[in-house]
Structure 1
Amino acid sequence: MSDWTAILLAGQRPGENDFAAAYGLKAKALIPVAGEAMLSRVARTLLACPSVVRIVVLAQEPRALFTGDAAWLADDPHVSAAAGGEGISASIGAIAGSDAAPYPVLVTTADHPLLRPEMVEAVIAGSNGSDAAFALVERSVVEQVHPETKRTWIKFSDGHYTGANLFALATPASGRAVSFWSRVERDRKKALKLLTFFGPGIFLRGLTRTISLDSAVAKASAKLGLTVKAVRLPFPEAAIDVDKPADLELAEQIIATRAEGRLSQGHG
C-alpha cells in the first residue's frame, strides 16, 4: 500500500482564532513558522513523502486558506480541498474512502510544522497489518531533547506517552475507530474518559495505571472489532505541535538549528 492519501486538517477549534488574530491572521494554519505558513510547510513535507500521492486539505473554508505563501496549493494537481462539517472526526469519516480520499489514508494537522517525511513513513510502515494506527512519542524521548516543551501525557504502566498528530486509516474497517473517536472528541484531553467505553475492568486499570499501552490497544481492538496499532516514534519533534506562542518560538528554534546543521554539512 504505497499510494496513500493525506488528509491535512487545517480547520479551527474554539479559541484558535485568538491565536491567529494575535499575528494578524484569520486562521492558525496560516501563522508563519520560520517565514512560511504552517499549512504550506506541512503540505510540502507530505508531498515529499514517497508513500503519499495526494493531499486533501480539510477545513471549514479550505480555499480561503490558499493565500499568501500557501497560494500554490490551489494550483498543485496533487492537492484538493474539502469543507469539513461539525466535528473533526465526523468530517474525516465523511471523506475517508471517497473518490477524493481513497484508502489508505494518513491524517495529520496543519499545526505540525516540524513534521518530516521520515516521521510520516515510519507511521505508514508501522501501520502495516492494521486497520488503523496512531503515533505516539514516549516522554523520555521528548524531554531528553526538549525538556521545556509542555505536552499532555497519557500514563500507562510501561511509560508516559503523548500523541504525534499522525493517524493511519488503512482499511474501510478503520471507520469504526473514527466513529468511536467522534463520541469522545469533546474529551480529547481526558484519557480516562476513553476507557469508560471499554468497561469497568479496563477503566480501573487505566485509573490505577496498571495497564500497558499495548494491552490497552489490544483491548480497544477487540472492543471495536478491528486491528489497531500504536506506533512509537523515536523522533522528539513529532510530539511538538504549535498551539501557543511558546510552541511557535520552540518550533522556530528547531528549524533554525536544522538549517544550521545543513549549512555545516554543506561546508564540510
Structure 2
Amino acid sequence: MLACVLTGGNKVEFSPEGKAFARIHGKTMLEYVTEALAGVSAIQKIVVIKDHERLIDSVHEALQQGPEQDQYVLIVTCDVPFLTTEAVEDFLARCQSDADLYYPIVDKRDYERRFPGIRRTYVKLKEGTFTGGNLFLVKPGKLLPILGRVEKILELRKSPLALSAELGVSFVVRLLLTKLAGLLTISKLETRIAEMFELDARAVISPYPEVAHDIDRPDDLEWATKMLSG
C-alpha cells in the first residue's frame, strides 16, 4: 500500500520551512508521522506531498501517486505527531469491506481521557459523540472525479444557508436537531454521502485518540512538546 503525507503548506508561524518541519525535541512533526507509517506492515511506500497551500490540491496530487486507481491509498496529514504504528494498523484492520473511502472517528470520552483539556469539534450522533481523525483510506479512482464537489462543500461549511442548499435542507435540519437529541446515526450520514457523491464512504470508530490529535496552533505545539518524551 502507498501512504501519502500532506505537509500543509508554508505556515511560518510554526517554522520558517512550514508546519511539517516544526520541531518537537529535535524531530520534525513530519518525521514523527513518517516513522509511525514506516512501521506499518501493509505500507510499502511513503510519499510526502509538498508545496500546496490548499488542502484540496494536496489531496489531488496524493490521489495521482498510486499505481492503480482502484488500489487503496492512505492519506495522512503531517500534524499528528502522536500518531503510532499501532493506531494506523488498527484503523486499517477495521476497514474490512470494499468501500471507496474509510475515515476514522474517535469517541469524545476516549479523546478527552488521552488529551484532557484540549478543545475539539464534536458531532453528537445516536451511537455517541465523536471527533474526526486525520487520515483516510481511499480508492483514487472513486474520489478524483468528485474533488470539485468536495471542495465546494468545504468552502460552504461556514455559510449555513448555502450549505443547506447544497446538502438539502431536510438533512441539515436533522443534523442540527441531533445536537440536541442525538437522532442522526452513522449509517444515515453514510447514506447521505452515497446519495450526494455516489461514494461508498464508511466511518470507522477508532479506539486510538492519537489519530485525531492534530496541531493547529503554535500553543498546540508547545503542549505537544511537554507531552511527548524527548
Q: TM-score, normalised by structure 2?
A: 0.84
CA offsets 1:178-235 (integer angstroms, 9 cap, x no match): 4432222335678997665332221110011131233212221232212110011101
Shift in Å, 1:242:
1.3
Quote the residue 1:212 is aligned against: 185
Instruction: Measure, in 1, the Cα distance between the counterparts of 2:40 and 2:160.
Output: 31
Instruction: Measure, in 1, the Cα distance between the counterparts of 2:65 and 2:115.
Output: 39
Given that 1:137 and 1:234 are in contact with CA atoms closer than 8 Å, whether structure 2 keeps it comes out as yes
Quote the residue 1:116 is aligned against: 84
Q: What value does the CA root-mean-square deviation take over the aligned residues?
A: 2.7
1:228 correspondence with 2:205: no
Aligned pair partner of 1:8 in 5, 10, 19 = 5
Write out aligned runs for 1:96-135 (5 A).
96-98=63-65, 103-128=71-96, 129-135=98-104
CA offsets 1:102-126 (integer angstroms, 9 cap, x no match): 6311111111111111221222222
Instruction: Measure, in 2, the Cα distance between the counterparts of 1:125 and 1:188.
Output: 31
Where do 5+ consecutive residues of structure 1 fail to align?
61-83, 260-268
1:245 correspondence with 2:214: no
Alignment-mate amino acid for residue 205 of structure 1: R
CA offsets 1:72-104 (integer angstroms, 9 cap, x no match): xxxxxxxxxxxx4x6322332244144568631
Alignment-mate amino acid for residue 139 of structure 1: K
Q: How many residues align?
A: 224
Q: TM-score, normalised by structure 1?
A: 0.73
Given that 1:5 and 1:101 are in contact with CA atoms closer than 8 Å, whether structure 2 keeps it comes out as no
Q: Provide the secondary structure at the position in 2 that maps to 1:211.
A: coil
Alignment-mate amino acid for residue 133 of structure 2: A
Moved more, 101-110 or 170-179: 170-179
Instruction: Measure, in 1, the Cα distance between the counterparts of 2:162 and 2:89.
Output: 31
1:90 correspondence with 2:76: no
Where do 5+ consecutive residues of structure 2 fail to align?
none
1:17 correspondence with 2:8: no
Would the alpha carbon gap of residues 177 and 122 (structure 1) be closer, same or farther in structure 2, given more than 3 Å must change? Answer: farther
Larger Rg: 1
Q: Provide the secondary structure at the position in 2 that maps to 1:208.
A: helix
Q: Provide the secondary structure at the position in 2 that maps to 1:160.
A: strand
1:198 correspondence with 2:167: yes
Quote the residue 2:227 is aligned against: 254
Write out aligned runs for 1:153-164 (5 A).
153-164=122-133
1:43 correspondence with 2:34: yes
1:139 correspondence with 2:108: yes
Instruction: Measure, in 2, the Cα distance between the counterparts of 1:254 and 1:237.
Output: 12
